[in-house]
Amino acid sequence: KQGIILDYIHINCRRRSTDSMVLLGILNHFDQGFPDRGFSVQEMLQVLDRQLTRRKSHLIVVLDEVDALLHRSGSDLIYNLTRFSDEYSKKKNLISLILISQKNIFPMLDVSSLSTIKRSSHIHLDKYSRDELYDIIKQRVELAFHRGVVNEDSINLIADIASEWGDARFAIELLWKAGLAADQQHSLEVTPEHVRAAKAETYSIVTESKLRNLNKHQLLTLEAVAKRLYLDGTAYTNTGDAERMYMLICEEHDEKPRAHTMFWNYLKEIENAGFITLKKSGKGQLGTTQLISLPDIPAEILCEKIEEILPDIN
């Protein structure tokens, strides 16, 4: 409405973590052929002033993951960009600066930069909720996969896993790796088992030593959950189905099944140990049963590991 030309530049500071690399990224927006060496930081800032003056434009610079730049190079560039109009140009307000970081960057700034930044607006964004992560993954599925390739169970499982951290990047990485796992198996569908494989590859807490810390009936309970999920090809099973599978597995191992209360205690204990997650059933489920998921390791692999360990457990 005011007839101002706006230029917008997004810089990932984890990839460009020095002052000169950030400025080169900015200048390449105006001139793809700008040389990547031979200019000092001060000279590059002067070139930037000439570009903005020639274009009669206002520049919005977003420095994403700016903590990486501050950690490596200090806050000189932040100071120069916030004081750009004072130091390099006769015109006012040529540059607006947006800094994005998952860390508190105030301790990384020098006094001069801090005095300018603290006068600006800063917004604290909470971690993504489970429902927000679901919406993000749903959108990425629609963009990246053919219709029907990623089933609803897999999307829900990714959202549940990533909600522990509230991290959308982690959720997207799980989706990507689950897709790769399905592709490697020549599968026409991305299933919850592929999601569990992706989680195991990305960040798994299930180790053989942790499994060996469980007693026999905790292991049998865990195997019952894993086997039920694997056979059904689902992300979740309910306590009733898991308990029926537990009774069958006990019979296979000549073990007397424990009563329902003990089985429930075993579920809570292996949940506290990080092997499974429990949540109340939602819409479309009868009653108030608990849904059980196995977020950290493919169900088939877990069953195999438990079968290897059981003979050694008294």
230-282 tens-digit pLDDT = 999 999 999 999 999 999 999 999 999 999 999 999 999 999 988 999 988 76
**pLDDT tens by residue, 120-155:** 678 888 889 999 999 999 999 999 999 999 999 999
CATH 3.30.70.20, applies to 5-117: no
Q: What is the pLDDT of residue 184?
A: 94
CATH topology of domain 208-312: Arc Repressor Mutant, subunit A (1.10.10)
Torsion of CA 263, 264, 270, 271, to 10 degrees: 160
d(CA 14, CA 37): 20
Domains 5-117 and 208-312 share a fold: no
Q: Where are the beta strands (DSSP E) in 95-172?
A: 95-100
Question: What is 116-136 written as a DSSP string?
Answer: HHTTS---PPPPPPHHHHHHH
Count of Cβ atoms closer than 10 Å to residue 113 Cβ: 23
- Domain residue ranges of the chain, discontinuous segments joined by +: 5-117, 130-202, 208-312
- Whether 92 shows a pLDDT value over 70: the answer reads no
Helical ranges in 203-289 per DSSP H: 208-212, 216-232, 239-252, 260-272
The whole-number pLDDT of residue 235 equals: 94
Confidence tier at 165 by pLDDT (50, 70, 90)? confident
Q: How far apart are CA 180 and CA 90, in angstroms?
A: 54
pLDDT number for residue 91: 62
Distance CA 41, CA 238 (A): 61
CA 41 vs CA 27, 33, 60: distances in Å: 12, 17, 19
φ, ψ of residue 75 in degrees (nearest 5): -110, 15
The rounded Cα 40 to chain-centroid distance in angstroms is 37
- Residue 99 contacts by C-beta under 8 Å, 6 or more apart in sequence? 63, 66, 78, 105, 117
Q: Which CATH number fits domain 130-202: 3.90.850.10, 3.30.70.580, 1.10.8.60, 3.30.505.50?
A: 1.10.8.60
φ/ψ of 57, rounded to 5, equals -120, 165
Nearest alpha carbon to residue 18 among 7, 26, 30, 8: 26
